[in-house]
Amino acid sequence: MSEELEESVEIGQKWLEENERNAKDAAFVFDARIPLEEKRYDALIIEIRSYCSPQSKAIIGVPYSPASGSEKFRVHKPKILLWEDCEDFDLNACINGFFDGVDSHEQGAKIWNDSLDQSV
């Protein structure tokens, strides 16, 4: 959407908020850095909206450690970064849906399982 990451994220977040396509549900994924255990990690950020409950906002971060030198790529446990006004939603169902999505992609599931580091 833009050559600048920050501008692209702003455009994506605006699209998510405005829901001009009248979607029932939507997600926006972007790369960022998040603080965990006194360190900053690269992470895929997943902002989720269910438009049947427009005030609800959920954000999940999937931290990862890029390959570097002798260190292999590592993916870490998803983290709930925001669960705002989501009382009508089942957090466990959301997380299970995330992992169902991982498992539904044969190559993605292999990479996930081979790279999983649950220490973070």
Query: What's the pLDDT at 21?
Result: 85
Is the pLDDT at 14 greater than 90, yes or no?
Answer: yes
Q: Where are the alpha helices (DSSP H) in the chain?
A: 5-18, 91-103, 106-115
Is the pLDDT at 24 greater than 70, yes or no?
Answer: yes
Query: What's the pLDDT at 2?
Result: 64
What's the predicted TM-score (pTM) here? 0.88
Is the pLDDT at 71 greater than 90, yes or no?
Answer: yes
Domain layout of the chain by residue ranges: 5-115
- The band of 111, judged by pLDDT with boundaries at 50, 70 and 90, is very high
Q: Where are the alpha helices (DSSP H) in 19-115?
A: 91-103, 106-115
Is the pLDDT at 28 greater than 90, yes or no?
Answer: yes
Are 21 and 27 in contact by the 8 Å Cβ rule? The answer is no
